[in-house]
Structure 1
Amino acid sequence: MTLNNILALLKKFADDHLQINSYGQGPTDDMTVKDQLYAAMWVALLPSTYSEKAMNHRMAVIFYDRLKHDKSNELEVQSDMLSVAMDLVAYLRDNPDFDINLTGDPSINYFTERFTDWCSGVEMTITIKDPKPLDRCVIPFS
């Protein structure tokens, strides 16, 4: 599965999940929150490795929603976004349709008062292992 395929799979998850209303991908510096629909999911690629004939794609997946001005919904937002993050873990780990594996234990970092729209949520770091990244038959030789 190519990196494009993996990102398309993550976008499909976001599009199909009833609690996510926007999706984005790229460096976190590119995140735009102005006029964004909430709750949102953002995927940022991290340094990855090729080891033992498998490609290990590391990425930060950020789930976030807006805070009320008095922050009275902070815990609720973090709890909801953690639930969505765990839905993604289940989607990737327990799906026989994918030829990729979620490896290791995802790490979760909670945050609050981030971005210009004053958001709260969770950032989950995951590693997706593609056990079949090489295929000599598809190398574009002339």
Structure 2
Amino acid sequence: MTLNQVIARIRSIILAHKQMRSFKFGPPSDALTDHTTKYPCALLQDTSGVLDIGGRVDTYGFRLFLLDLANVSEDAKLNELDVQSDMRSVAKDLLAEFNHQSFQDWKVSQSNATVLLREELDDLTAGIYFDLTFSTLWEPDACAVPTDSPIQTEDMKLVYDEKYVASGAEGKNLTIPAILGKKLLLVTRENQPIYKVSVNPDALEYTWDGTVIGLAVPVVAGERFLILYRNY
């Protein structure tokens, strides 16, 4: 997934929530000084990410603000607390949706620190913010790079096969030295091909992070695997 695709999906999920009225990406100060902002509002700010070549994972970092207007009155503090409580509940809803099993092409951070806040700019707002990350699989393919660099690509065109017989002690994770860091083209389990997914494989799927083949069903002793691979 690209950065644009990740932000577009986050935006879609947030605006589908019936308590949220607007979404903005960028510095929070820009939205808070914009008189057209509709509340409750979600403000998404990018933070540091990670490009992990070894793990073949692209991780995007964000800080998500959930804000609503807090009434100025004798009960302002109580109202502010109500808003913070409501926005924290929305945060739980959104994290549950971000983490839903239907999204197989990203993985959201499982532990996300939260901060209650109150901002006084043009509007008196209150709410919450939390930091979170979204990780996606990344295949660093030198052959696909638009470059004149003299990279040796002949070996990358060759396809190799590796036959593996399980001992039964592997459980759901296969670590096979011959394929470490390789590009997997086909994996069969006995006579059945299994298909690559990003997360949460079912019985006919697997995950691959460059080191471990992750399965949904533990292997049994004598079970055979055939893997076709390439050196990128």
Fold in common (TM above 0.5): yes
Does the 8 Å CA contact 1:2/1:133 hold for their aligned counterparts?
Answer: no
Percent sequence identity is 25
Structure 1 position 136, deviation (Å)? 5.3
**CA RMSD across the alignment:** 2.0
Distance (Å, rounded) in 2 between the aligned partners of 1:73 and 1:90: 26
Deviation of the 1:14 alpha carbon: 2.0
User: 1:55·1:133 contact (CA, 8 Å) conserved in 2?
Assistant: no
For the pair 1:61 / 2:71, whether they are aligned, the reply is no
The SS at the match of 1:126 is: strand
Contact between 1:78 and 1:120, CA under 8 Å: does it hold in 2? yes
Point out the structure with the larger helix share.
1
The structure with the larger Rg is: 2
Deviations 1:83-123 (A, max 9, x none): 11111111111232341001241110100143320100000
Structure 1 distance, partners of 2:65, 2:86, is 13
Q: Contact between 1:14 and 1:20, CA under 8 Å: does it hold in 2? A: yes
What aligned pairs does 1:86-101 form with structure 2 within 5 A after superposition?
A: 86-101=92-107
Unaligned runs of 5+ in 1: none
- What SS does the corresponding residue of 1:77 show, helix, strand or coil? helix
Q: Look up the equivalent residue of 1:47 and give its one-letter code.
A: S
Aligned to 2:46: 45
Deviating more after overlay: 10-19 vs 111-120: 111-120
Higher mean displacement: 131-140 or 33-42: 131-140
1:5-64 deviation digits (Å, cap 9, x = unpaired): 000001101221100001100123422442321100010000111122111111000000
Letter in 2 for 1:101: K
Return the TM-score normalized by structure 1. Answer: 0.88
Q: 1:130 to 1:34 in 2, by over 3 A?
A: same
**Which TM-score applies when normalising by structure 2?**
0.56
- The count of corresponding residues between Structure 1 and Structure 2 is 142
- Classify the secondary structure of the residue corresponding to 2:9: helix
Partners of 1:26 and 1:133 in 2: CA distance: 28
Look up the equivalent residue of 2:70 and give its one-letter code: L
Write the distance in 1 (CA, Å) between the matches of 2:104 and 2:15. Answer: 18
Q: Distance in 2 between matches of 1:89 and 1:137?
A: 37
Match of 1:125 in 2: 131
Extract unaligned runs of 5+ from structure 2.
149-232
More deviation in 118-127 or 70-79? Answer: 70-79
CA distance in 2, matches of 1:133, 1:58: 19
| Shift in alpha-carbon separation, 1:113–1:26, aligned structure 2, 3 A | closer
Amino acid at match of 1:13: I
AA aligned to 1:36 is: T
